[in-house]
């Protein structure tokens, strides 16, 4: 299971702090996007916009939280132990 899959597992289980702490260890664009999604969930839109920029994604044209998570999961390479 990759770090980003672990972050999603924490997110789904309501362990926001664990998800946020873990996502910081992934420096990829996907990691930045998921970091931004976590900030949206927390209501911290300023930091979310920062992380969307790091992920080279358009923050202002994003979808709902549910849509963003679906898009993220579709973009995440499936690996062994995927939580999909």
Domain coverage including residue 36: 3-75
User: According to the model, what pLDDT value does residue 83 have?
Assistant: 43
User: According to the model, what pLDDT value does residue 66 have?
Assistant: 93
26-55 pLDDT, tens digit per residue, is 999 999 999 999 999 999 999 999 999 999
Whether residue 50 is contained in a domain is answered as: yes
How would residue 19 be classed by pLDDT, with cut points 50, 70 and 90?
very high
Whether residue 83 is contained in a domain is answered as: no
CATH code of the domain containing 61: 1.25.40
Alpha carbon separation from 51 to 1, 28, 37, 63, 81 (Å, rounded): 23, 11, 8, 15, 26
Q: pTM for the full model? A: 0.89
Whether residue 80 is contained in a domain is answered as: no
Geometric angle at alpha carbon 82, from 79 and 84, rounded to 5°? 130
**In the chain, how many domains are there?**
1
């Amino acid at each position: 299971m990759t770090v980003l899959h672990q972050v999603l597992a924490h997110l789904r289980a309501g362990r926001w702090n664990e998800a946020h702490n873990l996502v910081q260890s992934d420096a990829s664009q996907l990691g930045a996007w998921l970091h931004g999604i976590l900030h949206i969930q927390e209501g911290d839109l300023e930091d979310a916009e920062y992380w969307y920029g790091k992920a080279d994604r358009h923050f202002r044209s994003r979808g709902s939280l549910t849509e963003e998570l679906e898009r993220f999961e579709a973009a995440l390479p499936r690996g062994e132990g995927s939580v999909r």
